[in-house]
Amino acid sequence: MTALPRTAPALQAATVKGADAHRTRALEHLHGTLGWDGRRHAAVERAVLDVLARRGGATAAELAAETADLREQIVDSPGKS
């Protein structure tokens, strides 16, 4: 087993097969669960990139603290715990 550096998520994202299909499914999921459309997704994406540019990097928790849209919760199975 090989220990990967902290850049492992970036490496995985850069090498994921079918990135376009993955993005399409993710957008469909956001639309179906939260009602986001392409414009809303693009606005949130811009906000996240602005935070990253200003801070030089951030954890998911730090991004959510500064970007309210990232704090929305997706409920995949209502009524189930």
13-47 pLDDT, tens digit per residue, is 777 677 788 888 888 989 998 999 989 999 999 99
Q: Which residue stretches of 1-81 are H helix?
A: 8-15, 19-34, 38-55, 60-66
d(CA 52, CA 81): 34
Which residues make Cβ contacts (< 8 Å) with residue 16, sequence separation at least 6? 22
pLDDT at 1: 44
| Residue keyed to tokens 């990967």 | 4
For residue 62, pLDDT beyond 90? yes
Q: Which residues contact 30 (CB under 8 A, 6 or more apart)?
A: 36, 41, 74
Which residues, at least 6 apart from 74, have a Cβ–Cβ distance to it below 8 Å?
A: 29, 30, 33, 34
